[in-house]
Amino acid sequence: MNKSFFVTGTDTEVGKTVASMAVMQAVSKAGYSVAGYKPVAAGSKETEQGPMNSDAIRLRECTTVEVSYQDVNPCLLHAACSPHIAAELESETVDFNQLSDGLKRLQSRSEFTLVEGAGGWRVPVTYDTTLADWVVGEKLPVILVVGIKLGCLNHAYLTAEAIRRDGMEIVGWVANRVNPGTEHYCDIVKTLEHHLKVPKLGEIPYMPSIKSRDLSGYIDIAPLGL
């Protein structure tokens, strides 16, 4: 048995990795084996093991089965920009077959696989294709992460509309408080609950060093069928 989901956001820097970690931690605490997957990452840092993406490192840390960095992130682009631009700069190609093969390997090793996107739903990986094209081909149910800040309602509405127009199911959404000073936080969340009409998996508060914390208590995995 394997359940797989794709995590997308209303924009870049809205907390996809934080939400992915929270979901993975909650699923692991429920007793399931978990694997995180960052098929395409743009932006790397040097480590003792070579260049790696910080978000992929976090997903690997939350993975409960034995995996290599390459298993978690098969396509690493070094420039911290849109994947299609980074790929062109580095004379690389984002190969959907490679991404699919990597996903299948993780699915065969775990009971739950969480796939984190790059940027928002329509992030381009070439001038003619987006990562969403691959997600549609894999038929992955979608978890939407909304970074709660001024302007997020419009971004959330448009993203949800695009996902559904592509024929994909949004199974749940996560509110991530990226700006502690945002006014009318509760009203914004209430509005999103009314408009998105899918289960809210949780609300993640703003906190320092958030990526080093156990966030499982902020997530309800029941809507994911677990």
Question: Is 88 within any annotated ligand binding site?
Answer: no
Residue range 6-52, pLDDT digits in tens: 999 999 999 999 999 999 999 999 999 999 999 999 999 999 999 99
The residues assigned a catalytic role are: 38
Residue 66 buriedness (CB in 10 A; 0-12 / 13-18 / 19+):
exposed
User: Residue 18 has which token pair?
Assistant: 């934080």
Task: List all residues 6 or more positions away from 24 whose beta carbon is below 8 Å from its beta carbon.
Answer: 34, 36, 59, 62, 63, 112, 114
Calculate what percentage of the chain has a pLDDT beyond 90: 97
Q: Could you state, in order of their start, the residue ranges of all structural domains in the chain?
A: 3-224
Q: Quick one: which of 23, 51, 32, 14 has its CA closest to 219? A: 23
What distance in Å separates the CA atoms of residue 163 and residue 187, rounded to the nearest whole number? Answer: 24
Residue carrying the six token digits 């419009």? 154
Cα angle, residue 82 at apex, residues 80 and 94 outer, rounded to 5°? 105
User: What would the CATH number be for the domain defined by 3-224?
Assistant: 3.40.50.300
Task: List all residues 6 or more positions away from 88 whose beta carbon is below 8 Å from its beta carbon.
Answer: none
Average pLDDT over residues 167-190: 96
Looking at residue 219, the DSSP 8-state letter turns out to be B
Residue range 188-205, pLDDT digits in tens: 999 999 999 999 999 999
Question: Is 8 within any annotated ligand binding site?
Answer: no
User: Residue 132 has which token pair?
Assistant: 């969403």
Is 52 in a helix, a strand, or coil? strand
- Specify the pLDDT at position 176: 97
β 40-42/200-204 pair status? unpaired
Residue carrying the six token digits 């990597």? 102
Question: Is 17 within any annotated ligand binding site?
Answer: yes
| pLDDT exceeds 80 at position 69 | yes
| pLDDT exceeds 80 at position 123 | yes
Average pLDDT over residues 105-132: 97
Question: Is 13 within any annotated ligand binding site?
Answer: yes
Average pLDDT over residues 49-78: 97
Mean residue pLDDT of the chain comes to 97
Calculate what percentage of the chain has a pLDDT beyond 70: 100
CB-based contact 70:95 (threshold 8 Å): no
Question: Is 123 within any annotated ligand binding site?
Answer: no
Residue 1: pLDDT band with limits 50, 70, 90 = confident
For residue 3, the number of C-alpha atoms closer than 13 Å in the C-beta half-sphere is 18
Q: How far is CA 35 from CA 3, 5, 16, 72, 115, in A?
A: 10, 11, 16, 8, 9
Question: Is 119 within any annotated ligand binding site?
Answer: yes
